[in-house]
């Protein structure tokens, strides 16, 4: 799992570990990973910047070495990027969001597929957002990458279906936690928030045999809200 040391990633990693699964995460925050392994000895870690191809290669290689293979890949890494209209967008900031959200997910997945093919029940999950399902004013890099991940999810599901690998995306709304509390500060309406544990439970379900007929889907978990605006 990418970006597994905090928030949705950590909740999901802990849920899979509690389910008896061996879990290997990466994160760019070395201190946060240290806290994870101290509190959860069953979760192993690798430092990784998913925007760096060599770093991704090292992460996937170490995950395979530690786990002995890959059954479930969860692409959770993503950044929010800048806020502002397209005409004022810094191209370097635009490219930075694409490098993490889209290209990072592409590289982690590309390198993991040969090992997922060896699994009896390979699953790829991509954490998306309501920002990928609808237009998101003043958040064009974020919305564009998240919409792109829907296309990647659907394409992978078609490409890998014949070898028994299922691919789905999860699209949370605003997620309750420290970050969203900062984002929503001063707003009267904070509806549509989702707890990270809810998302972790959905990920567990989609990775299980109970979801063996579900693939190529982007599943919203947003409290019924259209978007967290």
- Which residue of the set 15, 142, 171, 172 is catalytic? 142
Residue 7 has pLDDT above 90, yes or no: yes
Element (H, E) at 167: strand 166-172
Q: 123 in helix, strand or coil?
A: strand
132: confidence class by pLDDT, cuts 50, 70, 90: confident
What's the distance, Cα to Cα, between the start and end of the chain in Å? 28
Q: How far is it, in rounded angstroms, from Cα 63 to Cα 25?
A: 8
Q: Which helix (H) or strand (E) holds 45?
A: strand 43-47
Whether pLDDT at 131 is above 90: no
Residue 136 among the catalytic residues? no
Closest C-alpha among 32, 30, 38 to residue 5: 32
Predicted confidence (pLDDT) at residue 207 exceeds the cutoff of 90: yes
State whether the Cα torsion 126-130-135-139 is positive or negative.
negative
Per-residue pLDDT tens over the stretch 137-153: 999 999 999 999 999 99
Q: Which helix (H) or strand (E) holds 166?
A: strand 166-172
CA distance 22 to 71: 10
Determine the 3-state secondary structure of 176 from DSSP.
coil
Question: To the nearest whole number, what is the mean pLDDT of the chain?
Answer: 90
Q: Under a CB-based contact definition with an 8 Å cutoff, are residues 135 and 184 in contact?
A: no
In this predicted structure, the answer to whether residue 196 has a pLDDT above a threshold of 50 is yes
φ, ψ for residue 121 (rounded to 5)? Answer: -150, 65
Rounded distance between C-alpha atoms, residue 197 and residue 205, angstroms: 12
Triad 161, 3, 130: Cα angle to 5°: 65
Could you tell me which CATH number the domain at 7-221 has? 3.40.50.720
Give the model's pLDDT for residue 30.
96
pLDDT of residue 202: 97
Q: pLDDT value at position 193?
A: 56
Other beta carbons less than 10 A from residue 68's beta carbon = 10
- Give tens-digit pLDDT for 139-191: 999 999 999 999 999 999 999 999 999 999 999 986 544 443 343 333 334 44
Kindly report whether the global pTM for this prediction surpasses the value 0.85: yes
Which residue ranges make up each domain of the chain? 7-221
Q: What letter does residue 139 receive in the DSSP assignment?
A: B
Closest CA to 144 of 80, 226, 216: 80
């Amino acid at each position: 799992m990418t970006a597994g040391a905090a928030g949705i990633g950590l909740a999901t990693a802990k849920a899979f570990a509690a389910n008896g699964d061996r879990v290997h995460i990466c994160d760019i925050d070395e201190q946060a990973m240290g806290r994870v392994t101290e509190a959860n000895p069953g979760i192993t870690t690798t430092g990784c910047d998913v925007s760096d191809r060599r770093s991704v290669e090292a992460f996937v290689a170490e995950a395979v070495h530690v786990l002995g293979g890959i059954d479930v890949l969860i692409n959770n890494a993503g950044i929010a990027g800048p806020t502002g209209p397209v005409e004022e967008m810094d191209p370097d900031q635009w490219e930075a969001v694409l490098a993490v959200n889209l290209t990072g997910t592409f590289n982690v997945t590309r390198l993991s597929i040969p090992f997922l093919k060896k699994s009896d029940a390979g699953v790829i999950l991509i954490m998306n957002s309501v920002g990928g399902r609808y237009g998101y004013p003043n958040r064009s890099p974020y919305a564009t990458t998240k919409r792109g991940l829907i296309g990647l999810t659907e394409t992978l599901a078609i490409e890998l279906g014949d070898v028994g690998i299922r691919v789905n995306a999860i699209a949370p709304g605003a997620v309750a936690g420290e970050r969203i509390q900062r984002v929503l500060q001063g707003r009267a309406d904070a509806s549509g928030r989702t707890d990270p544990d809810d998302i972790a439970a959905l990920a567990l379900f989609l990775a299980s045999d109970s979801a063996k007929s579900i693939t190529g889907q982007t599943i919203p978990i947003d409290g019924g809200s259209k978007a967290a605006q």
